[in-house]
């Protein structure tokens, strides 16, 4: 029995386009001699469909589309879809896997049993857990079908076991010939290797091959890396799909061998590819053709410009250089060098006169009050207005260039440098921005001028300004932010890690005070285990102080 693992990139809600893609892959699998083709979780609707699931007509249309796919498929396929809960009690829907066999009128269906409701996942909002765990049958073979989280019951993943049931263990009692997991597992740094460890342990425990088929592509903030796997009965990877690209690989059940074995990239390279994937799909799926960004001469905008050119092509990237009275000559020269290296167009608009007009207009109110962050923010907001003007006039997507460290500390300006339709680096700490830039500059073309990487970072909103005037060195700041934001460490735990008590308290207080800014920020591409955005839901108005946290 030859099985095709079809990792596809569905667009959320694009039922007809997703169905056409499924049938196209199914036909190719059939032509290449496959007896079964397997597609990712919710491959018909795209994952996550979120509140589209609140629209009954959307679910009805998706089931009608599933029926058409069933009528047209040239071989048996397993597809992820949304099913109605036909019992009188419970949530109205199920996250489902369906086996569609040509010539058979009925589907074999398995409903997802374990529903994640942590971080970016909110499946208990919509779905009722499956009650029956049973095998599917095709071509005389018995298949144990699992849906994503159904394979994550292993203690290896959790500090404390999360679920009372292990669906794979239940299925093992029926002695299936092999297991299939259809998944929509988002990318985060180092998650691929943990995923492999969990799946390999399951195979070694139950001693049957396992096929893992993952969604690929970007859907809003989430990025899916594909990298589908076929593991033989010993837990060895015998075929693996490409990372961040659609692909189809094969597994032969009788010989337990595979066709197609891609290698997963190293961490920094995988991060760069993930950001490209997220940007590319956000642009295309939202109907944009070109992007615009502010180029400042700093490392963040330099990396965003490079990512945009590598992803979309230089002909689709426009840069705007917006010098103020405090902008250095180095920044102009470095920005100009960037545009030459990347072969992109850059317009220069000085904001000096606009800044003077703002200050003159406010002078009767501000009188003799000293220059402070107010005047700094005015410069950022002038720039944001000009960038948005180009975005509106020409229909380009404005890319925000801020990084995670700045967002965490509020070292950014609402309606200024935070303006934009997508934040590329909003989940990349500043130290990771440097690592990505150095990795990209290790390539032959070296697009980022070395001076941008070497010089101390500065917002250039007042004379001789440096980031370290307001922030600790990023090499100190970023580990504390990771501990607090991503690992939920307490003040006492961070102090036990060796960080100075006063510094920890200061950073935690600043992070908490700036929740309101992040609430209004552009959608951020997620590449860590805890990004600002849909997976982090802290209140803005709250009174839980660091002293109470201990």
| Dihedral sign for Cα atoms in the order 144, 145, 146, 148 | positive
Q: Which of 6, 21, 123, 148 is catalytic?
A: 148
Q: What pLDDT does residue 545 have?
A: 65
Q: Which of 112, 208, 482, 530 is catalytic?
A: 112
What are the beta bridge partners of residue 127? 93
Helices (H), 241-346: 267-285, 299-312, 329-342
State yes or no: is 112 an active-site residue.
Answer: yes
d(CA 420, CA 165): 44
State yes or no: is 148 an active-site residue.
Answer: yes
State yes or no: is 41 an active-site residue.
Answer: yes
| Dihedral sign for Cα atoms in the order 428, 431, 435, 437 | positive
CA 530-216-230 angle, to 5 degrees, is 105
Radius of gyration of the chain (CA): 26
Instruction: State whether residue 219 is helix, strand or coil.
Output: strand
CB atoms within 10 A of CB 518: 20
Quick one: which of 547, 6, 429 has its CA closest to 239?
Answer: 6
Residue whose token pair is 């396929």: 77
Four-way CATH pick for 2-264: 3.90.1150.10, 3.60.110.10, 3.40.50.280, 3.30.1240.10: 3.60.110.10
CA 214-217-221 angle, to 5 degrees, is 110
CB atoms within 10 A of CB 234: 12
Widest distance between CA atoms in the chain = 86
pLDDT, tens digit only, all 550 positions of the chain: 999 999 999 999 999 999 999 999 999 999 999 999 999 999 999 999 999 999 999 999 999 999 999 999 999 999 999 999 999 899 999 999 999 999 998 999 999 999 999 899 999 999 999 999 999 999 999 999 999 999 887 665 666 677 788 899 999 999 999 999 999 999 999 999 999 999 999 999 999 999 999 999 999 999 999 999 999 999 999 999 999 999 999 999 999 999 999 999 999 999 999 999 999 999 999 999 999 999 999 999 999 999 999 999 999 999 999 999 999 999 999 999 999 999 999 999 999 999 999 999 999 999 889 999 999 999 999 999 999 999 999 999 999 999 999 999 999 999 999 999 999 999 999 999 999 999 999 999 999 999 999 999 888 888 888 888 888 999 999 999 999 999 999 989 999 999 999 999 999 999 999 999 999 999 999 999 999 988 898 989 888 865 555 4
User: Regarding the domain with residue range 271-549, which homologous superfamily does it belong to in the CATH classification?
Assistant: HUPs (3.40.50.620)
Q: What pLDDT does residue 465 have?
A: 84
User: How is the chain split into domains, by residue range?
Assistant: 2-264, 271-549
**What string of DSSP letters covers 343-411?**
T-EEEE---HHHHHHHHHHHHHHHTTPPP-HHHHHHHHHHHHHHHHHHHHHHTPEEEE---HHHHHHT-
In this structure, the chain runs to a length of 550
């Amino acid at each position: 029995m030859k099985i095709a693992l079809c990792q596809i990139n569905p667009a959320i809600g694009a039922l007809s386009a997703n169905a056409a893609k499924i049938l196209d892959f199914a036909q190719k699998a059939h032509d290449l001699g496959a007896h079964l083709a397997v597609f990712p979780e919710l491959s018909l609707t795209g994952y996550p469909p979120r509140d589209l699931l609140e629209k009954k007509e959307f679910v009805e249309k998706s089931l009608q589309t599933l029926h058409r796919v069933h009528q047209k498929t040239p071989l048996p396929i397993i597809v992820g879809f949304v099913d109605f809960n036909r019992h009188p009690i419970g949530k109205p829907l199920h996250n489902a896997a369906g086996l569609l066999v040509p010539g058979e009128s009925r589907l074999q269906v398995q409903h997802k049993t374990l529903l994640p409701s942590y971080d970016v996942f909110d499946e208990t909002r919509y779905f009722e857990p499956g009650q029956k765990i049973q095998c599917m049958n095709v071509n005389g073979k018995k298949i144990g079908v699992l849906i994503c989280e159904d394979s994550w019951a292993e203690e290896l993943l959790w500090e404390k076991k999360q679920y009372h049931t292990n669906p794979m263990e239940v299925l093992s009692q029926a002695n299936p010939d092999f297991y299939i997991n259809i998944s929509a597992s988002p990318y985060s740094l180092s998650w691929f290797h943990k995923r492999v460890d969990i799946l390999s342990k399951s195979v070694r425990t139950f001693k049957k091959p396992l096929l893992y088929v993952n969604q690929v592509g970007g859907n809003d903030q989430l990025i899916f890396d594909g990298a589908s796997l076929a593991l033989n009965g010993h837990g060895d990877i015998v075929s693996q799909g490409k990372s961040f690209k659609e692909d189809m690989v094969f597994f032969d059940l009788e010989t337990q061998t595979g066709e197609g074995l891609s290698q997963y990239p190293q961490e920094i390279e995988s991060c760069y590819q993930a950001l490209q994937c997220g940007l590319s799909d956000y642009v295309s799926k939202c109907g944009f053709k070109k992007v615009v960004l502010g180029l400042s001469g700093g490392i963040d905008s330099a990396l965003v410009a490079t990512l945009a050119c590598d992803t979309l092509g230089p002909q689709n990237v426009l840069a705007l250089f917006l010098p103020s009275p405090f902008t250095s000559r180095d920044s102009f020269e470095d920005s100009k060098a960037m545009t030459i290296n990347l072969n992109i167009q850059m317009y220069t608009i000085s904001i000096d006169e606009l800044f003077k007009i703002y200050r003159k207009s406010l002078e009767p109110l501000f009188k003799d009050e000293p220059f402070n962050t107010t005047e700094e923010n005015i410069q950022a907001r002038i720039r944001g207005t000009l960038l948005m003007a180009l975005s509106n006039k020409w229909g380009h997507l404005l890319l925000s260039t801020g990084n995670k460290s700045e967002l965490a500390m509020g070292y950014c300006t609402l309606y200024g440098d935070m303006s934009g339709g997508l934040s590329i680096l909003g989940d990349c700490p500043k130290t990771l921005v440097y690592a990505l830039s150095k990795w990209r500059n290790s390539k032959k073309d070296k697009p980022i001028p070395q001076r941008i990487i070497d010089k101390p970072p500065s917002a250039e909103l007042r004379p001789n300004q440096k980031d370290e005037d307001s922030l600790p060195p990023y090499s100190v700041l970023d580990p504390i932010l990771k501990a607090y934001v991503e690992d939920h460490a307490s003040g006492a735990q961070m102090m036990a890690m060796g960080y100075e008590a006063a510094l920890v308290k200061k950073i935690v207080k600043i992070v908490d005070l700036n929740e309101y800014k992040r609430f209004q920020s552009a959608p951020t591409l997620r590449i860590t285990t805890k990004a600002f955005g849909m997976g982090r839901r802290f209140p803005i108005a709250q009174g839980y102080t660091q002293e109470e946290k201990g």
